């Protein structure tokens, strides 16, 4: 369920690092909690982000949730499909519905994040 090569945050974001670029998304657990997603608010390319700080938000009908960046750096790309089809985030949160790609400024941050196994027990404990 939770890809081994991702790393995870307590706020239910994931990040996949490949060659200095971190692809960020929210976890399946998060999209379930949110319910039907109606809108995703993402930063513009070029925006600087910091680990642990909000870079945007995800909206369902009755709630808004901040997206906290798992890593620091600069926004390189945002996923174009979410503007017209926010529901993809419910369907494929770990794959097609990634949110942003960040050019990492501090790769040393990664060990702070959870492994798939740790995240699995974290959400198990939350329940």
Partner 1 sequence: MRYLPKSDSERRQMLDACGVESAEDLFAHLPEAVRLRRPLHLAPGISEYEIVDYFRERAGENADGYASFLGAGVYRHYRPVLVDAVVSRGEFLTSYTPYQAEISQGTLTTIFEFQTMICQLTGMDVANASMYDGSTAVPEAAMMAARITGRHRALAARSVHPEYREVLRTYALHQGMPVEEFGYVKDSGVIDLEELERKIDDQTAAVIVQSPNFFGVIDDVKAAAEIAHRHGALLVVVFTEAVSLGILEPPAGADIVAGELQSFAISPSYGGPYAGIIATREKFVRQMPGRLVGQTVDTHGNRAFCLTLSTREQHIRREKATSNICTNQALIALMATVFMTVYGKVGLRELALQNTAKAHYLAGKLKPAFTGKFFNEFVARVGNPEAVNKTLLKKKIIGGLPLGRFYPELADSMLVCATETTRRGEMDELSDALRAPAAEEVLA
Partner 2 sequence: MIKKVRSHPSQNEALLFERSSPGKGAWQLPELDVPAVDASVALGAANVRAEIPGFPEVSEVEAIRHFTRLSTWNYAIDHGMYPLGSCTMKYNPRINELVARIEGLAWAHPYQPEALAQGAMEVMARLEAALAEITGMDAVTLQPSAGAQGELTGILLIRALLEKRGSPRRKILIPDSAHGTNPATAAIAGYVVENVKSTDTGVLDLEALARAADGDVAALMVTNPNTLGVFEENIVQAAEILHAKGAMLYMDGANMNALVGIARPGDFGVDVMHLNLHKTFSTPHGGGGPGAGPVAVKKALEPFLPTPRLKRVRGKWAWDFKRKRSIGRVRAFYGNFGVLVRALAYILAHGGPGLRNATVDAVLNAVYIRKQLEPYFDLPYPAPNMHEVVFSDERQAKLGVRTGDLAKRLIDYGFHPYTVSFPMIVHGALMIEPTETEGKLELDQFIDAMISIAKEVETDPELVKQAPHSTRTSRVDEVAAARKPVLRWKPA
Q: How many CB atoms lie within 10 A of CB 61?
A: 10
CA-to-CA separations, 13 to 35, 116, in angstroms, rounded? 16, 12
122 lines the binding site for partner 1 (CB under 8 A): no
CB-count exposure of residue 19 (10 Å: 0-12, 13-18, 19+): exposed
**Considering the rule CB under 8 A, would residue 33 count as an interface residue with partner 2?**
no
Of 74 and 87, which CB lies nearer to partner 2 in the complex structure? 87
How near is the Cβ of 110 to partner 1 at its closest, in Å? 29
In sequence order, the β-bridge partners of residue 114 are 8
Contacting partner 1 within 54-83 (CB under 8 A): 59, 61-64
Nearer to partner 2, 61 or 117 (CB): 61
Of 34 and 71, nearer to partner 1 (C-beta) is 34
Structure tokens of 15?
A: 């990040």
How many chain residues touch partner 1 (CB under 8 A)? 7
């Amino acid at each position: 369920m939770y890809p081994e090569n991702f790393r995870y945050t307590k706020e239910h974001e994931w990040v996949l690092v490949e060659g200095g670029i971190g692809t960020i998304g929210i976890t399946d657990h998060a999209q379930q909690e949110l319910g039907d997603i109606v809108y995703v608010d993402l930063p513009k390319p070029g925006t600087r982000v910091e680990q642990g700080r909000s870079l945007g938000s995800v909206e369902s009908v009755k709630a808004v949730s901040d997206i906290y960046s798992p890593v620091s750096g600069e926004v390189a790309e945002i996923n174009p499909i979410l503007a017209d089809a926010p529901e993809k985030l419910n369907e494929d949160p770990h794959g097609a519905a990634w949110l942003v790609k960040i050019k990492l400024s501090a790769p040393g941050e990664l060990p702070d994040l959870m492994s798939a196994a740790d995240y699995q027990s974290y959400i198990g404990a939350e329940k």
